[in-house]
Amino acid sequence: MLRLKAFRPSSDKIVKIQLHPTHPWLVTADESDRVSVWNWEHRQVIYELKAGGVDERRLVGAKLEKLAEGETESKGKPTEAIRGGSVKQVNFYDDDVRFWQLWHNRSAAAEAPTAVHHLSSAFSSPAPTTKGRHFLVICCLNKAIFLDLVTMRGRDVPKHELDNKSLLCMEFLYRSGVGDGPLVAFGASDGVIRVLSMMTWKLVRRYTGGHKGSISCLMSFMAASGEALLVSGASDGLLIIWSADQGPDSRELVPKLSLKAHDGGVVAVELSRVMGGAPQLITIGADKTLAIWDTVSFKELRRIKPVPKLACHSVASWCHPRAPNLDILTCVKDSHIWAIEHPTYSALTRPLCELSTVIPPQVLAPNKKLRVYCMVAHTLQPHLVATGTNIGVIICEFDPRSLPPVAPLPTPSDSREHSAVFVVERELKLLNFQLNNSANPSLGNNSSLSETGRSKGDFFEPLPVKQGKKHISTPVPHDSYSVLSVSSSGK
């Protein structure tokens, strides 16, 4: 079902991984706390740093910046000289990340029959907050690193500015108070969530009185009522729901709801979009179980042990048109990507892919077994699944035939009908279609663009399409991975 899309070898285990939603960027952290940003499309490393220790290049760069700004005397130890410690989480943050996360949360909430009206109405792009910058954000035990991949300027926030508590996980909050700018929440070793403003770089809020253990995961989502919520999981096994809608005057916040989720601790939490229903939460725990929770009643809907005797360390909600029976992907420390079927079908767990069969045979030593340590599914391209292993990063492409090779045919200037040819199973097919944009004026040529590059009127309303398909009797002497093109000469 899966074939290799890209592979980057590594001598260390890849233990943290994340994909950018719109750029072909992947960020990883290995067991030695080295963080790498990789362009998986062009197979190029964009940036690398030693986040766990002191990165000399960043330290020298920071000193040169201060000299250029006229600062000759050092005001104490620079934050770049503080050892980061163990890397706990890596992520990207920019206007595209913010836009698609908000769109995903809102569209999942709008599926519920009880969703408030404004969730099902047109979705407008949120105001830009990063002004063209693309942040790489690294959550380390002793500090958080915010690095702008455009200017390569960084900002290190040591833990002593966050009540001197070790940082274990992070999540961006998408409803920021006026004047605070983008907000990022950090889960700490004392069970408290601390919120940092990326505009003032100051602590602006605390979520207290919930956990009695160290926080292991955070996730923001939107309820069917339209309320922005934050969910946290911790080593005490609790899953706690907090309000993320509070204004700038709310400095100390208490839990809305607390649930006992897993014995031994919660490992990760994920949001699942349900067609025609309220979104659900998926949690995995140290007790080797995976649980699904309703976000209206917050009752447990289902609990399974995906892989007997092994605990899951990664989970992803998944939807692919060629596999409608599968809705969850997960990984344990073996060589598989596991898929869990929807209860409508068999509700069984089965291996989606044996990764050792898709990689080049020479990269795996004869006496070495492949092990997966982290996994992520692409937000906007669900056919792409990235895994971090003990031999490197493996990006797999699920059933590329679901995205057939296609070539557009020239459209006459006096015609509104467009044509394209595509290949499916060595058969050439013709697709004729018309786009009717009268229902959505934002799709016209007169629409203005926002700073994010999207139309200001981009509402994501369904575009009326009139189409027809035709089978062409000419067989294609190539496989379904071939590339189609149109000759400009007409021959």
In sequence order, which residues have a C-beta less than 8 Å from that of residue 17 and are 6 or more positions away?
26, 27, 28, 29, 90, 374, 375, 376, 386, 387, 388, 393
Backbone angles phi, psi at 112, to 5 degrees: -65, 135
Parts of the chain belonging to CATH 2.130.10.10: 2-402
CB 236 within 8 A of CB 213: yes
The Cα 104–Cα 98 span in angstroms is: 10
pLDDT for position 442: 38
DSSP 87: E
The Cα 232–Cα 212 span in angstroms is: 12
Domain 2-402: assigned CATH number: 2.130.10.10
The Cα 161–Cα 299 span in angstroms is: 37
pLDDT for position 456: 44
Low-confidence ranges of the chain (pLDDT < 50): 438-460, 478-482, 490-491
What is the SS3 assignment for 128?
A: coil
Tokens 């200001």 locate to 456
Listed residue (354, 349, 353) closest to 339, CA to CA: 349
DSSP 279: -
| Global pTM exceeds 0.95 | no
